[in-house]
Structure formats: structure tokens, C-alpha cells
Amino acid sequence: MPPANHPIATARAALRAELRDFYDAYFACLEDQDLERWPGFFTDDALYLVQSAENHGLGLPVGDVFCDSAAMRRDRAAALRTTSVFEPRRLRHFAGTLRLRDDAGDGVIRAEAGYLAVECLVGDAPALFSAGRSIDEIVRGADGLRFRSRRVVYDHTHVRNSLVFPL
């Protein structure tokens, strides 16, 4: 390990801090249930997939959510906003371990980030809704970082009733 004030260590610390800010901004958008802003965290042709560790481990393509374009993300956001029927809830996201993969020199930041989401329904005790990790590829554009691929792989086998808001 280089010493803490070595340029490589400093750059790595700065990148980790920048990523933490990016994930915080993403989770804040989800917590605000600001579905219209959610697609803006992705590049246009980014893959967004939410699937169980079971499917991921078996290399199976089906997820609970599959969006491979901005159009699909906008459609999902619009559907949740205008057509879906569900009781109100709040979700709170807690970032877990952040593992930064080595720089492949192609301008893509590869990270795996643990997460926990807690769901509060009216009348219920707070519930652990989802725990797992996201396997992310993040790129830098003119207006900041965006996901070019985000696979949310949850550790549990089943979803507690319904998965309404994206993870």
C-alpha cells in the first residue's frame, strides 16, 4: 500500500469520495421518489437490472426490473407515477462496503457497492426490505458521473410483497 499522501492513494481517496457523493445523490433521488429525475443518473443506453443473487449466480437473464434504454426507464417511471396502484411507503437507503475495481484504463469506473434498504409502510414496524450489492460501471460525462450499467443483485431469495421504487 502506498503511504496516505502518495499521489495514487490521494487520487484513490478522491475517487472514493466522489463515488460516495454520487451514490448519495442517487439514493436521495430514490428516497424523494423523484422518478422523473431517476433516468438522469444513467447513460441513454445503460443497462439497469434488478435481480436476485440466485439468478445472477446462475447467469440467468430475467430480473425483477430490466431496462436497457432511457426509454424503458422513462416508461417505468411514468407507469409507476400514473398507472400503478400501491399503498404509500418510504424507503431509506444505507450504503455498505464500496469496492473499487482496478482502473482498466478505458475511462470506466467499476465498483461494487453493498446496500441496505429499509421500508416503512403506515402501521408497520420498519422492515428490512432489501440487502445486496450493486455491480456498477460508471462513466464521467460533461455533467458528472452516470451509470452506464447498474446491476442490483440482492442477497435474499424473495421480495417483501412488492418492489415499487427502483433500487
Binding site for other proteins (CB under 8 A): 50-52, 54-55, 58, 60-67, 69-72, 74-76, 78-80, 82-87, 157-164
For other proteins, the closer of residues 44 and 103 by Cβ is: 44
b/e string for 108-126 if b means 16 or more Cβ within 10 A? Answer: ebbbbbebebebebeeeee
C-beta of 159: minimal distance to other proteins in Å? 4
For other proteins, the closer of residues 21 and 87 by Cβ is: 87
For other proteins, the closer of residues 34 and 45 by Cβ is: 45
d(CA 38, CA 17): 21
Q: How many CB atoms lie within 10 A of CB 167?
A: 21
Output the DSSP codes for 54-121.
HHHHHT----SEEE-SHHHHHHHHHHHHHT-----EEEEEEEEEEEEPPP-SSSEEEEEEEEEEEEEE
C-beta of 82: minimal distance to other proteins in Å? 7
d(CA 110, CA 31): 24
- In degrees and rounded to multiples of 5, residue 44 shows phi and psi of -60, -40
C-beta of 132: minimal distance to other proteins in Å? 14
C-beta of 87: minimal distance to other proteins in Å? 6
For other proteins, the closer of residues 50 and 111 by Cβ is: 50
C-beta of 32: minimal distance to other proteins in Å? 19
For other proteins, the closer of residues 70 and 131 by Cβ is: 70
